[in-house]
Structure 1
Amino acid sequence: MRQTFNMTAYKLALLAALSTLALCFASGLRAHEVQPTIGDLTVADGTAELVLQINLEAFLAGIDLDAVDDTNDAENASDYDALRALSGDEIAARAPQLLESWNALPLVSVDGEAVSMDSVKITVPQDVDIELPRVSEWVLSGATTEDAQTVTVAWPDGAGAMVLRQQGVEGPFTGYLAGGESSPQISLSGGAEQTFWQAFVSYIPVGFDHILPQGLDHILFVLGLFFLSTHLGPLLWQVSAFTLAHTVTLALGALGLVNVPGSIVEPLIAASIVYVAVENIFSPGLSRWRPIVIFGFGLLHGLGFASVLGEFGLPEGQFVPALIGFNVGVEVGQLTVIAMAAILLWIALHAARVAKLDGIEEEVREYPVMFRAVSITGSLIIAIIGAWWVVERVFL
């Protein structure tokens, strides 16, 4: 009896450890808070102009946007919240203090010479929900020589991602800069547009980053697919249906052919997480309808992915390779989540096969039974998180 009790306790402890797998991927309650800065660059007639679409409050609070995907997760989140509560005029008055360190980089260089940028105009939108990020427009300008040939932009460490778009020339440069990176030398006469393969390769990490670490809701959905069964077949059917569906709406949404407001898409994505998790609890395996349902949910998730590419405003010539690269990055991210979950689960269950309790060595041969228990526990946690997201995104 004592041995049976100890073995049960051991399994419960194992269950508790494995169920944290879902929680490890769900450390925050709101996804997609941090957005890339968009920079439109024009150099002509002796003037360099950089127009930024930027979350000024996050920069003024000193949040390391390279390290967090949600401002709520930052150590100085309270500073951000305090700034977010200020009026647009108050934020506009504080923004120029960022320029001193940016000009020291320098932010903009023309023909290898630093250009001192000045704040020309700051437009902070009004009537934005206090719980949502506020994206302001900041116009910077600096004097250059009339016969300038090239320009370079350096983006600061901790500033998160930036999409840099050259304006006013044929074949403009468009690039994706992470915090601490610099653009190549961009020809002011145009023709610096990325090739198909350059655009494709550069947007693979963008898609991957949208899953790991930023896509908490997509991560939980993929884990819900993983927790259905120990067999590979059900997982392949579900992932295939999900991939096909989100590829379709990712393309349609990013092209602007389908446009569903985030206020509708985000709650439905959260609801899809709940559905998948609850079905895991009550269904022992893959039903004939589940791949069809997963396909429908994949259409919703694709619209969520499309909103990311839509923010970038890619030139027409780079849209297709960027779209493909982004989708490849998303798939690699999803497969990474599944691989991490499978490895952690295998290690834990393998360690449990021989349990040494009270000096008695007992073989544990109940892998399917134990996986079912882990699946129910993990799915329950995922369902609770998803249900909270539904409430949060609809009512809060």
Structure 2
Amino acid sequence: MGRTFDWTGLKLRLVAIMSSLWVFIGMATAHEVTPTIGDLRVTGGLVQLELRLNIEAFLAGIDLDGLENTDEDDQSARYDALRALGSAELSPRVRKYAVDWADQITITAGNPLSLSYEGARIPVVGNVDLPRASFLLLEAPLPTGAQSLTVTWPKGAGALVLRQHDVTDPYTGYLQGGETSPNIPLGGGASLGAWDSLVSYIPVGFTHIIPKGLDHILFVLGLFFLSARLRPLVWQITAFTLAHTVTLAMGAAGWISINPAIVEPLIAASIVFVALENIFVRKLHPWRPVVIFGFGLLHGLGFASVLGEFGLPQGQFLPALIGFNVGVELGQLAVIAVAFLTVGIWFRNKYWYRGRIAIPASVVIAMIGLFWFVERIGAI
């Protein structure tokens, strides 16, 4: 007797697919929390701290500690309204806020210094779906004879990448809200060692995949859903890893540079391609790893642009780069592990696995990738 078609089950699966689609699209348009970049200089007897930050999140009163995107906060509506303001309208609010907020940043050189607000640069309104990076300049007189200082980043301010400039072997560190930097010699020499640099950049790479790299997560899942068997997956992951390692290294070294406005739509297109191929192709063909290698080159450029925002320690470029790449790989392996544990281990040998799981999942991934592609093309 032939099998009867389960129309009820099909309807339920379609509802689940569409629900997943809207959930992921919501995540796609969410406002990702980015770390503040702090550039520290000592010049003319002054300590200068220039901050590149998402000032609207601070003005909205959002607690950024441990937050992944601002849509999760109760103040998200106020935050969105501030993002739509022009620089002329936003500047007075920034000044009023920064004058008081500067007191919450503690720089100590023997005694706490008194930071003053010296001005801001606020870009014009662009794509309101993307964070706007503004710049604040804070200054304080340096006590005579001071040889070193520490920086304490305020609670609720999220993460800070602190970078020392204009000295030999400058300090580069990563502080969470409420943390204090180690003692930073004003003459330089506080750069991390090779092992410390490698270890400190592993979480930076990992968090770029989980939870912040939804586009990379979907690409890796696209590789998984062609076949949940180990051999095809290993071939694809190997090609992808080799490729993105090459362009990540070249981009981080400054040997190649491509505008992210070009790279990001192409990354979205790569997600669409892989997902559609899953739908129409049943097995790993010789061309698939070659195509994946090409897409890996694109994703590596995306990784390099992110790493460029953080900066790499000048004296420990290679260890920090390796640490970041290790973090990326651990993130990708975690995605694959979760996919295996939730889907592959239980259902990959079922006759209905491809029709009821792999293809519907690939349809969702393709639609999200297409949504991103259109959105990113529109932002150019």
- What TM-score do the two structures reach when normalised by structure 2? 0.89
Contact 1:31 1:214 in 2 (8 A): no
Contact 1:19 1:378 in 2 (8 A): no
Residue of structure 2 in register with 1:257 after alignment: 255
**2:176 paired with 1:178:** yes
Seen in structure 2, the aligned counterparts of structure 1 residues 134 and 276 have a Cα distance that, compared at 3 Å, is same
1:229 positional shift: 0.8
1:124 positional shift: 1.4
1:291 positional shift: 0.3
Match runs of 1:1-396 below 5 Å: 27-30=26-29, 33-43=32-42, 46-96=45-95, 97-101=97-101, 103-104=103-104, 106-111=105-110, 113-126=111-124, 128-346=126-344, 349=347, 367-395=350-378
Seen in structure 2, the aligned counterparts of structure 1 residues 203 and 279 have a Cα distance that, compared at 3 Å, is same
Matches of 2:31 and 2:192, distance apart in 1: 27
Matches of 1:239 and 1:12, distance apart in 2: 34
Task: Give the paired residue count.
Answer: 377
What's the RMSD between the two structures over aligned residues? 2.8
Unmatched runs of 5 consecutive residues or more in structure 2: none
Letter in 1 for 2:114: S
Matches of 1:23 and 1:53, distance apart in 2: 32
SS at match of 1:279: helix
Seen in structure 2, the aligned counterparts of structure 1 residues 336 and 119 have a Cα distance that, compared at 3 Å, is same
Letter in 2 for 1:310: G
1:144 positional shift: 3.4
Matches of 1:21 and 1:234, distance apart in 2: 26
SS at match of 1:90: helix
Matches of 2:231 and 2:378, distance apart in 1: 38
Matches of 1:375 and 1:322, distance apart in 2: 37
1:114 positional shift: 2.0
Deviation string, structure 1 residues 239-260 (Cα, Å, up to 9, x no partner): 0000000001111111221111
Matches of 2:200 and 2:331, distance apart in 1: 15
SS at match of 1:53: strand
Unmatched runs of 5 consecutive residues or more in structure 1: 351-365
SS at match of 1:92: helix
Seen in structure 2, the aligned counterparts of structure 1 residues 320 and 19 have a Cα distance that, compared at 3 Å, is farther
Seen in structure 2, the aligned counterparts of structure 1 residues 20 and 29 have a Cα distance that, compared at 3 Å, is same
1:161 positional shift: 2.4
SS at match of 1:227: helix
Contact 1:31 1:69 in 2 (8 A): no
SS at match of 1:151: strand
Deviation string, structure 1 residues 19-78 (Cα, Å, up to 9, x no partner): 988887765124784332211112456432111112211221223334444444544222
Matches of 2:342 and 2:158, distance apart in 1: 30
Contact 1:31 1:216 in 2 (8 A): no
Seen in structure 2, the aligned counterparts of structure 1 residues 32 and 215 have a Cα distance that, compared at 3 Å, is farther
Seen in structure 2, the aligned counterparts of structure 1 residues 99 and 226 have a Cα distance that, compared at 3 Å, is farther
Query: Please, which moves more after superposition, 167-176 or 335-344?
Result: 167-176
Contact 2:83 2:125 in 1 (8 A): no
Deviation string, structure 1 residues 326-364 (Cα, Å, up to 9, x no partner): 1100000000011111111157649xxxxxxxxxxxxxx
Letter in 2 for 1:318: Q
Contact 2:239 2:289 in 1 (8 A): yes
1:6 positional shift: 10
Deviation string, structure 1 residues 210-257 (Cα, Å, up to 9, x no partner): 000000100000010111113100100000000000001111111221
Seen in structure 2, the aligned counterparts of structure 1 residues 200 and 150 have a Cα distance that, compared at 3 Å, is same
SS at match of 2:353: helix
Matches of 2:351 and 2:175, distance apart in 1: 46
1:17 positional shift: 6.5
1:125 positional shift: 2.2
Contact 1:31 1:215 in 2 (8 A): no
Contact 2:244 2:300 in 1 (8 A): yes
Query: Please, which moves more after superposition, 373-382 or 42-51?
Result: 42-51
SS at match of 1:367: coil
1:149 positional shift: 2.5
Query: Please, which moves more after superposition, 317-326 or 22-31?
Result: 22-31
SS at match of 1:134: coil
1:286 positional shift: 0.7
Letter in 2 for 1:380: V
Contact 2:31 2:131 in 1 (8 A): no
Seen in structure 2, the aligned counterparts of structure 1 residues 176 and 26 have a Cα distance that, compared at 3 Å, is farther
1:393 positional shift: 0.8
SS at match of 2:149: strand
- What TM-score do the two structures reach when normalised by structure 1? 0.86
Query: Please, which moves more after superposition, 170-179 or 87-96?
Result: 87-96
Query: Please, which moves more after superposition, 118-127 or 275-284?
Result: 118-127
SS at match of 2:40: strand
Matches of 1:12 and 1:348, distance apart in 2: 22
Contact 1:18 1:374 in 2 (8 A): no
